[in-house]
Structure 1
């Protein structure tokens, strides 16, 4: 079996960016995003968790965002990913969690990112934003 090319990795990162931002902007449901994530190979899941953790850091999430996001995620507040994201400062080692916790970690990370990113879109980017990921077209028939 061959390793994916860097072009494949770039394409996959763009797909991840699109899916996560569609969830954050309510153009795709969290459950649909989880279905997409669950269909990935374990190595790809780790890549997504690393990527989304980076998005969360860039969105400057807070412990308060963590609590709101965990409540939205459907993951118990006592689960490892929930505890990690609610720390002050948040911990980001989600890709290092056991694979059995990857779906929970995805749900938590995307939900918390959605909280912080919505705040950024409303406060800092409203009407002046040039970020392509903040200006996604309306959903068509996304799974």
Structure 2
């Protein structure tokens, strides 16, 4: 039996979710996540940027989260992805940035998501969380 295009898309979205949440929870380094992202085809990178942007928005990022995430990302605060994420409200459209900005956009988005999601895990989800992606174990640890 062959895997359909829809199945491959679902599997890839699960991979994105896993990698991004492993970075957010310290089970994978940002450098390792960036290496994974850098190894993807350009169209896949755009998919990842759309997904991670959605994750960040769902985590209800604040301007303070944006600034803290940019500082954590190592990307210059004046770079397009940094400016976009720190606006109030944050701008989307990271996948539409030029391809040479995709790695910076990934670093910024994942770092901002890490800040916002950590805040939410410590407050909103504290002790009552049933989100599978908030309950990763060290068994999935990556470099």
Q: What is the TM-score of this pair, normalised by structure 1?
A: 0.95
CA contact (8 A) 1:28 1:139 kept: no
SS of alignment partner, residue 115 of structure 1? helix
Q: Within 1, Cα distance between the matches of 2:106 and 2:76?
A: 13
* CA distances 1:35-76 after superposition (whole Å, capped 9, x unpaired): 000000000000000000000010000111000000000000
Residue 128, structure 1, aligned to residue 128, structure 2:
yes
Residue 68, structure 1, aligned to residue 87, structure 2:
no
Structure 2: unaligned runs, 5 residues or longer: none
**Which residue is equivalent to 1:35?**
35
Q: Within 2, Cα distance between the matches of 1:139 and 1:69?
A: 26
Residue 80, structure 1, aligned to residue 80, structure 2:
yes
Structure 1 position 137, deviation (Å): 1.0
The alignment of Structure 1 onto Structure 2 pairs a total of residues equal to 140
Structure 1: unaligned runs, 5 residues or longer: none
Q: Within 1, Cα distance between the matches of 2:139 and 2:75?
A: 26
**Which residue is equivalent to 1:12?**
12
Q: Within 1, Cα distance between the matches of 2:140 and 2:38?
A: 22
Q: Within 2, Cα distance between the matches of 1:9 and 1:85?
A: 26
Structure 1 position 139, deviation (Å): 4.3
Structure 1 position 142, deviation (Å): 1.8
Q: Within 2, Cα distance between the matches of 1:62 and 1:124?
A: 15
Taking the TM superposition and a 5 Å limit, the aligned residue runs for 1:36-55 are 36-55=36-55
Structure 1 position 127, deviation (Å): 1.1
Runs of 4 or more, structure 1, over 2 Å off, are none
